[in-house]
Amino acid sequence: MLKLRGLAKVYRVGSFGGGRLHAVRDVDLTVHPGQVVSLVGESGSGKSTIGRMVLGLIPPTAGTVAFAGADVARLRGHRRRKDYYREVQGVFQDPFSCFNPVFTADRVFALIRAEYFPRATDTEWRRRIAGSLDTVRLDPAQVLGKYPHQLSGGQLQRLLIARALLLDIRLLVADEIISMLDASTRIDVLNLLGDLKARGLGILFITHDLSLGNYISDTTVILRRGRIVESGATTAVFDHPVHPYTRRLLASVPRLHRTWAQADADLAAGGVDGGCVGCAGRSGGGHPPVEVAVGHLVGCFDDGA
């Protein structure tokens, strides 16, 4: 459904735009209906840049973003872009910044109505909103007519997901949507994403927190400095991490059944068996990803980063 191929983004940086920052390099990634793919990496690894390219907010420098076969960068004109956003929506980290404090929070629904459902009757529209709020487990009486400051971060985040669900979306780009929520609300929102997945929605779940990605995703993609270093079924990546960077990330996640001493020991063991999976004695690095098990791809250990 969503296919990224050879995707790259270079930003011009510096006072005269003379510098180049390779924020995303050669990323291949696929999201199928009903599949949650988590994109994990430390701050600055290019996760949001990928999300923004998927949402057509910035153009790729190279490579393609295709949704249902159509190249997103070539969606010209209001109508075609509008049709794209009927199927693909994004929700971002800071729910507060998405609301205008001067208006009640449910104004975000009215904007969707004006753009996509101008002919809906009041009754139809109310029913649609009720359905959407029900899906995100919000009580209409608690949120409708309220100002953003009267609602919690979790409620606002769910309102934004409800807004996306007013449209019959097929793909949700969720960029750090739970980082700003407290622990109990996080689980609620993660469970909600699980429900959406069960309804067939594809979700690109962007997070810097490996333990959150693990909770709902089928596939995990580990990004480092704009490049995919490892990807595969979440269970494979978590249980048999191969790339030293993935191992380091995993070792830094406290897990219930492992002590820190065990984590350190695992890490040390990872260093011993040593060399890159794909270089096989060659020097220089930079080989294409190697398939270490079915669907489990590992990039070069020495990727020039």
Ligand X SMILES: Nc1ncnc2c1ncn2[C@@H]1O[C@H](COP(=O)(O)OP(=O)(O)OP(=O)(O)O)[C@@H](O)[C@H]1O
Under the criterion CB under 5 A, does residue 48 sit at the interface with Mg ion? yes
35, 38, 45, 217: which one binds ligand X (CB under 6 A): 45
Q: Assess 44 for contact with ligand X (CB under 6 A).
A: yes
Q: Does 111 bind ligand X (CB under 6 A)?
A: no
Of the residues 48, 214, 217, 220, which one makes contact with ligand X according to CB under 6 A: 48
Q: Which residues pair with 16 in a beta bridge?
A: none
Please count the residues of this chain forming the interface with Mg ion, following the rule CB under 5 A. 1
15 is a site residue for ligand X (CB under 6 A): no
Distance CA 270, CA 272 (A): 6
- What number of chain residues touch ligand X (CB under 6 A)? 13
User: At closest approach, how far in Å is the CB of 55 from ligand X?
Assistant: 13
Q: Closer CB to Mg ion, residue 36 or residue 105?
A: 36
CA-CA distance, 86 to 259, in Å (whole number)?
A: 46
- Cα–Cα dist 104/281, whole Å: 63
Which one of residues 7, 29, 37, 41 is an interface residue with ligand X (CB under 6 A)?
41
Whole-number minimum distance, CB 243 to ligand X, in Å?
17
Closer Cβ to ligand X, 21 or 277, answer by number:
21
Binding site partner of 21, from Mg ion, ligand X, none, Cβ cut-off 5-8 A by kind: ligand X
Of residues 109 and 205, the one with the C-beta less far from ligand X: 205
For 77, phi then psi, to 5°, come to: 90, 150
Residue 13 touches ligand X, criterion: CB under 6 A = yes
Q: Does residue 180 interact with ligand X by CB under 6 A?
A: no
- Please tell me whether residue 224 binds ligand X under the rule CB under 6 A: no
User: According to CB under 6 A, which one of 35, 49, 217, 231 is a site residue for ligand X?
Assistant: 49
Torsion of CA 225, 227, 233, 239, to 10 degrees: -50
**Interaction pattern, residues 202-221, with ligand X; x per rule: CB under 6 A:** ------x-------------
Query: Is the Cβ of residue 11 or residue 147 nearer to ligand X in the bound state?
Result: 11
Residues that bind ligand X (CB under 6 A): 11, 13, 21, 23, 41, 43-49, 208
Residues that bind Mg ion (CB under 5 A): 48
